[in-house]
Amino acid sequence: MKGSQELLQLIEAYDTIAVFRHVNPDGDALGSQVGFAKWVKHNYPNKTVHLLGSNDHHYSIYPMMDDVELSGEFLSVVIDTANRPRIDDERYTLGKQLVKIDHHPEVDPYGDLQMVDTSRGSACEIVTDILRGFDKSFTEDIANTLLSGILTDTIRFSTEATSGKTLASASFLIEQGANISKLNQDLFTQPRAVFELKNKIAQFVEVKEAHSFIVMDSERIAEVGSTSKQIKGFVNVMSGVQEFSIWAIFTQDEDGSYEGSIRSREYTINDIAQQFGGGGHRLASGVSKLTKENVSEIIEILAKRSIGE
């Protein structure tokens, strides 16, 4: 990939490297951040490598982020984050140089080195291809970490961004020792309590045209005994229904505003998210800081889009 040798030179030039990703991390954000950091530490054991960001996520297979003070010169590497306001931990600005590695549509071209490929299914796929191009080694742990992000962002190789390159990257990681069967169990099975919670949330599904949606205000969230942060990750309780071409979930935060997670089977939706200050991929987008009126407006727009208007 263009910029790979420059990235290797930067890695070798700095004694300290701080690796960042986006807020509210998913498996790809964590997998790419942690996988990259583990690879650097494995191949350059004398370097100091920090994982920066909050530990506010539900994944148990990734290590805790580092609680450290940053000082001196260091390299900042930000992965899977399209724009600067979404970077989790503003200390990325303190790095002497900044690298961006991402697969989202380019809306904020930041960084001294930008390695962006919007055709890729995940940031982990990009990181894998970059790192495998160097004459360095992988471990089973590194391979598992990177494959986890490919699996989650492509929804087990089912999205339109899944390509031959995606499968080649996954194949390489399996050859390095990644256990795809165990990863699927760790990432895609759920406790009975979560299963029952999803069933409670499903009772609030509404439909307009071919657009299904759930609006969880604070009262409903309290009723099901959950949190806004947990519920917004359940957008796919409406996936897999033939009659739904677009589905979305809107959850009310403590400050009264709403966050929306939007998914589509075929119709472009990220342009709609962008109208309200959000963004994302063509078929998977998000938006935050919405008013109740904004939510109603988005629902109407998505309903029209769901039938091709």
**Does residue 127 contact residue 79 with C-beta atoms inside 8 Å?**
yes
Q: Output the pLDDT for position 221.
A: 98
**259: its two tokens:** 């966050």
Q: Output the pLDDT for position 166.
A: 98
Instruction: State how far the Cα of 282 lies from the Cα of 289, in Å rounded to an integer.
Output: 21
Whether the per-residue pLDDT at 279 is higher than 90: the answer is no
Q: Output the pLDDT for position 249.
A: 98
Q: Output the pLDDT for position 54.
A: 94
pLDDT bin (cut points 50, 70, 90) of residue 57 is confident
**292: its two tokens:** 């109740």
Give percent of the chain with pLDDT exceeding 90. Answer: 94
Helix or strand (DSSP H, E) at 26:
none
Instruction: State how far the Cα of 8 lies from the Cα of 16, in Å rounded to an integer.
Output: 14
Q: Side chain identity at 253, as an amino acid letter?
A: D
DSSP states of 126-177 as a string? HHHHHHHTSS----HHHHHHHHHHHHHHTTTTTSTT--HHHHHHHHHHHHTT
Whether the per-residue pLDDT at 44 is higher than 90: the answer is yes
**Does residue 284 contact residue 160 with C-beta atoms inside 8 Å?**
no
Topology (CATH level 3) of domain 4-188: inorganic pyrophosphatase (n-terminal core) (3.90.1640)
pLDDT digits (tens, 9 = 90+) for 135-153: 999 999 999 999 999 999 9
Instruction: State how far the Cα of 80 lies from the Cα of 214, in Å rounded to an integer.
Output: 27
Q: What is the mean pLDDT of residues 225-248?
A: 94
pLDDT digits (tens, 9 = 90+) for 146-192: 999 999 999 999 999 999 999 999 999 999 999 999 999 999 999 99
Selected residue with higher pLDDT from 53 and 57: 53
Location of each CATH 3.10.310.30 domain in the chain: 193-306
Helices (H), the chain: 4-13, 27-43, 123-132, 140-153, 164-175, 180-188, 192-202, 218-224, 228-231, 270-275, 292-305
**Does residue 53 contact residue 65 with C-beta atoms inside 8 Å?**
yes
Whether the per-residue pLDDT at 11 is higher than 90: the answer is yes
Q: What is the mean pLDDT of residues 20-40?
A: 97
* Residue located via tokens 């609006």: 215
Q: Output the pLDDT for position 229.
A: 87
Scored b (16 or more CB within 10 A) or e, 148-173 reads: bbbbbbbeeeebebbbebbeebbebb
Instruction: State how far the Cα of 266 lies from the Cα of 211, in Å rounded to an integer.
Output: 12
Helix or strand (DSSP H, E) at 106:
none
**Does residue 285 contact residue 272 with C-beta atoms inside 8 Å?**
yes
Q: Output the pLDDT for position 20.
A: 99
Q: CATH code for 193-306?
A: 3.10.310.30
pLDDT digits (tens, 9 = 90+) for 242-277: 999 999 999 999 999 999 999 999 999 999 999 999
Location of each CATH 3.90.1640.10 domain in the chain: 4-188
pLDDT bin (cut points 50, 70, 90) of residue 58 is confident
pLDDT digits (tens, 9 = 90+) for 72-126: 999 999 999 999 999 999 999 999 999 999 999 998 999 999 999 999 999 999 9
For the chain, report the end-to-end CA distance as a whole number of angstroms.
38
